[in-house]
Amino acid sequence: KAGVVRDVKHDGRFLFARQKEADALRQFMDKVSLGTNLADAQAQKFASEFSLYAAQLLLDACYKVYGDYMQFIRKRLLRVTLRMLRLPALDRKVRRLCNLRRLRNWLRLCRRLQAFDRGMPLYRRLRTQWVCFNRLIEMVEERYKYTTPGLAKDAKRRRGHLQKLGAHLTEDLALEQKTHNYKDLQEVAFSTRACFYSLLHYKEQNFMFAQLARAARELHRTAFLQRAFYCLRDRLPPSSTWPVRRSCPPFGLLRARADLLAVRSRLLGPHRRDPATRIRGLNRQALWRLRLSALEGPSFKKFLGEFEARCRHRAAAEQRLLVEAFHARGRLTY
């Protein structure tokens, strides 16, 4: 009986403990279910309001992008506007700088040309000296190396003989270099000294032309032999052998060329500038013009024919006028 009582007490405490645990578990489950329901409600509320939140975020992003775009457009438009407003000023500034640079360039060129102008007399003198020196060296090489020995000295001596007649006419007889009448020349040109100088001039002139002809023939003959030799040796036309012939001319060709140049420079040039030659040439030109005018003008027989034709024409006209006056007024006066 006592053991039954202990079991009942023990079972009661056990049940009470179980009940207490069940109540605690129920409270915990109610608390958990309340939190879960609240979180579920909040989640459902957030899910229901997320579209509005996303739309708001999208609108905010669009507004921000549009604002940035409009700000960029405003800045760009402002930059373009300022640039367009700045272009005329830049154009004026660039034109001013360009004109300034152009003036500086012109001043530089003027300064350089002024320096050239100041140094031109010195340059001309030095240039003339340089050219004369080079030509002197060339003359020494061409004339004293290839000219026939004694030809230059003989030509110089004959040049003095050639110029004696011109010096006598201009210095002693005071004749001008113009056209003269042959009757006037007979009084001064047929003296003993003038005749002697004329014969000397004629002799030296013939010698000059003979030397020129000899040098020209020798030059032509040597050039022809050289051309024929190279054409036969290389079996080429003359035009193809010209560079070789020009690079290595023979000694005979160089001597003929030097002799021709020596005679031309020492005799032909002074002969052309000689007063006697000039007067003779002017007289020949005047005589040629006189003959040409005589040939082109009417002859005496032609002049008589034309004069007779004019007289007959005038007589016929006067006769016709007299006849018309007689028929009109009955008298032979008009």
List pLDDT tens digits, range 65-115: 898 889 999 898 888 888 888 888 888 888 999 999 999 999 999 988 888
- Which amino acid is present at 139? M
Q: Mean pLDDT, the chain, as a whole number? A: 80
The pTM for the full model equals: 0.45
Q: What is the pLDDT of residue 174?
A: 64
Q: What is the pLDDT of residue 296?
A: 67
CB of 201 closer than 8 Å to CB of 164:
yes
Q: What is the DSSP secondary-structure string of 103-134?
A: HHHHHHHHHHHHHHHHHHHHHHHHHHHHHHHH
Q: What is the pLDDT of residue 106?
A: 92
Q: At what angle do helices 151-162 and 251-263 cross, to 10 degrees?
A: 20
CB of 258 closer than 8 Å to CB of 147:
yes
Cα 268 to Cα 107, 263, 264, distances in angstroms:
51, 7, 5
**Tens of pLDDT along 221-238?**
988 888 888 888 888 888
**Tens of pLDDT along 324-334?**
777 777 666 55
pLDDT at residue 286 greater than cutoff 90: no
pLDDT at residue 179 greater than cutoff 90: no
Closest CA relative to residue 227, chosen from 254, 245, 243: 245
Q: What is the pLDDT of residue 182?
A: 66
Q: What is the pLDDT of residue 84?
A: 83
Taking the C-alpha atoms of residue 89 and residue 100, their distance in angstroms, rounded to an integer, is 16
Environment class of 88 (CB within 10 Å of its CB; exposed 0-12, middle 13-18, buried 19+): exposed
**Tens of pLDDT along 116-133?**
888 888 888 999 999 999
Cα 60 to Cα 32, 66, 67, 73, 187, distances in angstroms:
38, 10, 10, 20, 131
pLDDT at residue 4 greater than cutoff 50: no
Closest CA relative to residue 52, chosen from 41, 60, 64: 60
CB of 248 closer than 8 Å to CB of 262:
no
Tell me what percent of the residues of the chain surpass a pLDDT of 70.
Answer: 85
Q: What is the pLDDT of residue 1?
A: 47
Q: What is the pLDDT of residue 103?
A: 92
Taking the C-alpha atoms of residue 177 and residue 171, their distance in angstroms, rounded to an integer, is 12
Q: What is the pLDDT of residue 93?
A: 87
Determine which of 15-19, 147-151, 184-188, 261-265 has the lowest per-residue pLDDT on average.
Answer: 184-188
Taking the C-alpha atoms of residue 68 and residue 86, their distance in angstroms, rounded to an integer, is 26
Task: With cut-offs at 50, 70 and 90, classify the pLDDT of residue 295.
Answer: low
Mean pLDDT along residues 34-60: 76
**Tens of pLDDT along 185-197?**
666 667 777 788 8
The token pair that represents 197 in the structure block: 């100088």
HSE value, Cβ hemisphere, 13 Å, CA-based, for 305: 5
SS3 call for 16: helix
Tell me what percent of the residues of the chain surpass a pLDDT of 90.
Answer: 7
CA angle (219, 220, 221) in 5-degree steps: 95
